[in-house]
């Protein structure tokens, strides 16, 4: 099953952190545009748009996805750009949920473009 077809599972208490091999495998499933932070504890991507309105529209779409999945990223909006940073707050690192959310955001971007 593709990541975009899965659902985020609510974290009940501390959750285990993915090991580096698991992170790289899931990152590979997302494609080349998603990156890991230098410490491999955050997942991020920069999206570019032709104007502020399109960037804002995408930001709002991310908000809808985040609410549906009950998993909320950090979103930085500026003129023509949206930066998304994802991690699991309960372990302050990465979990499969983060990659699921990223895949859903990526799918939304493809459909919006």
Q: Which domains does the chain have, with CATH numbers?
A: 41-113 (3.30.1360.20)
Contact criterion met (CB below 8 Å) for 44 and 37: yes
Contact criterion met (CB below 8 Å) for 112 and 57: yes
β-partners of residue 24 are none
Looking at the predicted structure, is the pLDDT value of residue 15 above 90? no
Per the structure block, which two tokens stand in for 52? 């502020």
d(CA 15, CA 64): 24
Note the pLDDT of residue 112.
85
Q: What is the pLDDT of residues 28-57, one digit of tens each?
A: 999 899 999 999 999 999 999 999 999 999
């Amino acid at each position: 099953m593709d990541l975009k077809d899965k659902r985020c599972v609510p974290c009940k208490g501390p959750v285990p952190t993915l090991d580096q091999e698991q992170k790289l495998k899931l990152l590979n499933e997302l494609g080349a545009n998603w990156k890991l932070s230098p410490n491999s504890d955050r997942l991020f991507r920069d999206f570019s748009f032709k104007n502020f309105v399109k960037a804002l529209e995408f930001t709002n779409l991310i908000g809808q996805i985040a609410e549906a999945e009950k998993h909320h990223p950090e979103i930085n909006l500026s003129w023509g750009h949206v930066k998304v940073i994802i991690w699991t707050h309960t372990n302050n690192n990465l979990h499969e949920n983060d990659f699921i959310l990223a895949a859903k955001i990526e799918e939304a971007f493809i459909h919006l473009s």
